[in-house]
Structure 1
Amino acid sequence: METALRVTEALKSFRETRLSGIRAPTEFFDHHRVSRPADLNQATQRISYNTKYFSGNYGLIVAALAVYAVLTNPLLLIAMGFLFGGFAAISKFAPESAEIAGTVITQKSLYITLFVIGIPLLWISSPISTFFWIIGASGVLIFGHACLMEPGIESEYAAVQDAV
C-alpha cells in the first residue's frame, strides 16, 4: 500500500515538473514560424531559446525514439526482459536458499546464473549502438527544429525578465 502511494506521488510530481513544460502541438509544429537563420549567431540564439522553451516536447521526442529503438531491436527487448524479469523473479520468489536434488541453490548463485546468461545476450543485442543511434537521431531532430523555429514574441519579454 505504501509503495503504491509512493508511485502515485512520484507520477504526480513528474507530471507537475516535466509534463507541464510540454507545448501544444500547434505551437510546436507551427510552420509559419519556420525559417532559415541568417547566420551562426542567430542559429545559436534560436537553439538556446528553443531548447529551454520546448524542453518538454524534446523530452517526448527522445522518449519516443528510445521506445522505437527498443521495439525495433527484438534481441535487445528479449535481453532486457530477461534481465529485469530475472531480477524481479529472484528477489520475489527466491529470498532464501533452497535445496533441489541434494544441491543447495542460493540467491547469489541465481544472480550469477542470470548474469552469465544475460550479459552475453545483452552484449549481442548491441545496446551501445542503439544508445548512440538514439543520441544521434534525437540530436538531429532537436537541433534541427530548434535552429529552424523562430522564437515567438514571448522571447522578447523573456530577455526583459532576465535583465530585471
Structure 2
Amino acid sequence: MQVHYISFSAHADSAQTSAFLEELNPPNIILVHGEANEMGRLKQKLMTQFADRNTKILTPKNCQSVEMYFNSQKMAKTIGKLAEKTPEVGETVSGLLVKKGFTYQIMAPEDLHVFSQLTTTNVTQRITIPYSGAFNVISHRLKQIYE
C-alpha cells in the first residue's frame, strides 16, 4: 500500500476541498480535522458529490481505527520462451514469477538473466552420517570368508 500525504497550508473551505477531491477522484476519503458538525456537513456534501462513484467517505473520531479493503487483481505477463506459444485453456504454465516495481512477469528459468538482473544457480548437497559399529564387524567377517 502507498500512502500519499498532502499538507494544506492554511485552511481550505468546503468548496476548495470539494474541488480538490474532484480533481483527485480518490477511492477513499477520510476527514480527520475540523469541528464535528462541519465535518458532518462536508461529509454529506461529498457523499452527494461522489454518489455516482464507489467512494468511501469516513469521519473517524480521534484515535479511532480505520480499516480499508482494496480489491485488486494481480496480473502477470508471460515473456521470453514462455510467451512463444499461447497455452490452451486449462493448460498449466510453469516458470519463475518475478516482481519488479508493480509489475509481475512469468519467465522460463533460462530467460531470467535476459529479462532481469537475477541469476539462477544449482545447489548440490551431500549428507554425511557418522556411523560406527556394524560395518566394521561385517567387513571384517567378509574379509575372513574371502581369504
TM-score range, shorter chain: under 0.3
Q: Which has the higher helix share?
A: 1
Rg (Cα) greater in structure = 2
Where relative contact order (Cα < 8 A, 6+ residues apart) is larger, the structure is 1
TM-score calculated relative to the size of structure 2? 0.26
Q: Which has the higher strand share?
A: 2
